[in-house]
Structure 1
Amino acid sequence: MGVDIIELFSRPAKDPVMASSFPLMNSGWTVTLILVLYLAFVLKLGKVFMQNRNPYNIKNVMLVYNVLQVIYNVVLFLYGLDMIIINPVYNIRCIEVLPLDHPIKATERTLAYLYLLNKIIDLLDTVFFVLRKSYKQITFLHVYHHVLMVFSTYWILRIYGGSGQFHVMGTLNTFVHSVMYAYYFMSALSPGLKDSLWWKKYITEIQLIQFFILLAQSLIVLIFNRSCKFPIFLQYVQLTQATVMIILFGKFYINSYIKPKSKKSQ
């Protein structure tokens, strides 16, 4: 089994163009190392590094980072929306990875790869928390979500050569992140806005809606369209993860917005 894992990590991506021309896609070890270093830094090494240091003032860095993230995610969202609604190239009931000779395969390939890079860039969110000593924001949900998005996106692209059914997830996710990073920018620009709970509340509600849509998408395929050629196993993965995220984000929503209101009304 160990040999099989080593072979899998060393095997290039299924899409030969992606394997030869896109950095990170010819070996699974690099992304794995990135995630291991990320976890080591945000869970232990970063706190050790900051132990005798004052929080860094990285306001300007965060402002630039958040603006660039808004632009990045809006562009990905518009391209993703175009491919499924405006100028559809997929059957929304069963989105399969486009064949290598498809006229817009290059667009699908590039869009999926840029989405992966964006998920890796997202890891900086937690690094900024460490450098500012905002440790309370480094929750299990936060770290789990970031690692899962990088890990799952990478291996889906490596093994299947495209996003397939997960194209909907990526499109919804970029919309959510466009709103989220806009909020982060406003908060960094004027910290007083953090007290405006309706911003965070609506972001969490949008995230929950996203996961319910993905849950419904998986159920539709599993119940009504079993002939869909996109791997059934991944349909169950999406179903499971959507359920887990609904539970985790739902718990966060209740603890952050429902319970505080109940205490105030007592």
Structure 2
Amino acid sequence: MEAVGNDTKIGSYSYPFADLADERTRNWPLVESPWNVPTLLALYFLMVHYGPKWIARYKPLQLRVPLFSHSLAMAFLNAHICLELFTASRKLGYSFSCQPCRVSYSPQEMRLAAAFWWFYISKILEFADTAFFILRQKWNQLSFLHVYHHSTMFVFCWIFIKWMPTGSVYVPTMINSFVHIVMYSYYALSVLGPRVQKFLWWKRYLTGLQLVQFTVVFFWALQVVIQGCEYGTWITLIGAAYMLPFLFMFGRFYVQKYMVYPAAKKSL
């Protein structure tokens, strides 16, 4: 390995801070090369840009079986991630408020790293949500909020699995995976037809749960920074700031969807 300042060459890849990459996960699939992120993001943005133009020439597709299968698989995957993170962190005696990332090859530490790798992979699989919106021509759901959320979460997850795959990252990951269990369960049930859809009155509370998630993670990240936890203070501060646009955009969506629109409808 050859290092010059903060630039390190690993294999054929040269990029800033590569020498700080966690040695346990740096060679895992879709982690080592820095080109994974821009390549997958470019393909995603090309799909978002050109997909609607292409599918507009055809009738919307139903895709009930693929949508149900994908949503159910994602719900189970997130359940696995959440359970692995909870079980391993409890066995390790991890602190909820501050847990430094230590390079350890103990079975439970590697179990945590593997769970977070699957979480990173799940963010790639979530790009299929956008594809389903496009193919079904659900233009109201193909919003800036949706595209921003999916693309930026993927980048953040690559940073964490590359540099800090254990430690305090288990907290927001576990919370997010739990929310996604609920969310993808809703998606799976929503395609089963009117007989099931009438029981999905709790969609409003799903958006509320997402707002609670962003609020909890925001204040959790702040306390990590304030107490000077050894776990990546700089990236935790960025993570706290990252929650603010989501609080604003999801909050605005909630108000417009469940407060302003119903009130306007009643006044007609």
TM-score by length of 2: 0.87
Partner amino acid, structure 1, of 2:252? K
Alignment of 1:182-221 (within 5 A): 182-190=185-193, 198-221=201-224
1:19 and 2:31 correspond = no
Aligned to 1:38: 44
Higher strand share: 2
- SS of the residue aligned with 1:138? coil
CA 1:17–1:218 in structure 2 vs 1: closer, same or farther (change >3 Å)? closer
CA 1:143–1:195 in structure 2 vs 1: closer, same or farther (change >3 Å)? farther
Query: Paired residues, what number?
Result: 258
- Residues 61, 135 of structure 2: 8 Å contact kept: yes
- SS of the residue aligned with 1:26? coil
Structure 2: how far apart are the matches of 1:59 and 1:258? 30
- SS of the residue aligned with 1:56? coil
Partner amino acid, structure 2, of 1:111? A
CA 1:190–1:111 in structure 2 vs 1: closer, same or farther (change >3 Å)? same
Alignment of 1:58-69 (within 5 A): 58-69=63-74
RMSD over aligned CA atoms reads: 2.4
Structure 2: how far apart are the matches of 1:130 and 1:264? 28
Aligned to 1:52: 57
CA 1:192–1:149 in structure 2 vs 1: closer, same or farther (change >3 Å)? farther
Structure 2: how far apart are the matches of 1:263 and 1:232? 45
Partner amino acid, structure 1, of 2:236? Q
- Any gaps of 5 or more consecutive residues in structure 1? none
Aligned to 2:247: 246
Structure 2: how far apart are the matches of 1:80 and 1:92? 12
1:172 and 2:178 correspond = no
1:83 and 2:84 correspond = no
Structure 1: how far apart are the matches of 2:16 and 2:201? 44
Structure 2: how far apart are the matches of 1:107 and 1:249? 33
Partner amino acid, structure 2, of 1:19? R
Aligned to 1:158: 162
The one-character-per-residue Cα deviations of 1:10-64 (angstroms, maximum 9, x if unpaired) are 94882334233x211110102321111101111x210222131222231111111
CA 1:230–1:153 in structure 2 vs 1: closer, same or farther (change >3 Å)? same
- SS of the residue aligned with 1:170? helix
Structure 2: how far apart are the matches of 1:77 and 1:31? 24
- Residues 88, 108 of structure 2: 8 Å contact kept: no
Structure 1: how far apart are the matches of 2:20 and 2:201? 43
> Offset of 1:213 from its aligned partner?
0.8
Structure 2: how far apart are the matches of 1:79 and 1:218? 22
Structure 2: how far apart are the matches of 1:218 and 1:168? 10
- Residues 11, 27 of structure 1: 8 Å contact kept: no
Structure 2: how far apart are the matches of 1:264 and 1:135? 22
Partner amino acid, structure 1, of 2:44? Y
1:108 and 2:120 correspond = no
- Residues 12, 26 of structure 1: 8 Å contact kept: no
Aligned to 2:259: 258
Partner amino acid, structure 2, of 1:237? I
TM-score by length of 1: 0.88
Q: 1:71 aligns with which of 70, 76, 80?
A: 76
> Offset of 1:65 from its aligned partner?
0.8
The one-character-per-residue Cα deviations of 1:134-193 (angstroms, maximum 9, x if unpaired) are 121111111101011100110122133x14332211111111111111111111111576
Q: Percent identity?
A: 27
Structure 2: how far apart are the matches of 1:220 and 1:18? 27
Higher helix share: 1
- Any gaps of 5 or more consecutive residues in structure 2? 1-5
Partner amino acid, structure 2, of 1:8? Y
